[in-house]
Amino acid sequence: MGFELQGKRAIVTGGSRGIGKAIARQLAKEGVDVVISARGQEQLQATADELAQETGRRIIPIVADTGNDQAVVNLVEKAVEALGGIDILVNNAALPGGISPATKLEEVVSEEALEDVNIKVVGYLRTAKAVAPHLIANGWGRIINIGGLAVRKPGRPIASLRNAGVATITKNLADELGPKGINVTVVHPGATRTERTINPELEATFVSGISIGRIIDAEEVAWVVAFLASPKSVAINGDAIAAGGGSVGAIYY
């Protein structure tokens, strides 16, 4: 079953490293031309060059800070100009694990919490707001928001807060945009292996809580996102997809 993505055009925020880079790679392998954005020019350009050579698709780097309204508007304008339009948005720009390291109430720093929410939750809204008119004009589109499995367990209150926020905006956007041909979903990765997190000892600490007995690779998250980006995913809208290998002992319905 093909994903019917040949010739589509996408923006992947936070696309220079980690899960975002894996998503951009997989979309390009499926025939999508991709704008990747991040705040660091050097790494962004290196990733664009690497993925373009590997996939043969157009991979266009655009520096952008999704914590800033005008930067997001500029990103989308440049992406539309470069690609001739947009069909898919993957919101992924956020610091893995979040800015706030707080595990207890006494450790919460308001400024860190607000910045986490600004970048991941409000940042996703900014980008969706800027992209939505183009998807509506197409009469079709996909928005995939990358959250995290901290949404389903305690221990990191701000991490849970920001991922819960991503889930709630996803549902609101899905109900508003669904009748216009645009599906909006959220993917919650768990512990994920990327080029920055290959650490067997650290990975071993997560294994007991994962049903498949190992952590997930970024490529495996990207496969899920590629399906959700495709026309084949039309039956899924507004819902959350956990992509962490299964949580031991938990039932979600």
Confidence of residue 201 (pLDDT cuts 50, 70, 90): confident
Q: Answer yes or no: are the C-beta atoms of 38 and 93 closer than 8 Å.
A: yes
Confidence of residue 202 (pLDDT cuts 50, 70, 90): confident
Domains of the chain from N-terminus onward:
9-243 (3.40.50.720)
What confidence tens digit (pLDDT) does each residue in 101-132 have? Answer: 899 999 999 999 999 999 999 999 999 999 99
DSSP 8-state assignment for residue 248: T
**Helix count (H) and strand count (E) of the chain?**
8, 9
DSSP 8-state assignment for residue 49: H
Say what the pLDDT of residue 197 is: 67
CA distances in angstroms from 175 to 126, 169, 183, listed in the order given = 17, 10, 9
Q: Answer yes or no: are the C-beta atoms of 17 and 51 closer than 8 Å.
A: no
Instruction: Indicate whether 72 pLDDT > 80.
Output: yes
Say what the pLDDT of residue 140 is: 98
Query: Pick from 246, 66, 91: which is nearest to 170 by CA?
Result: 91
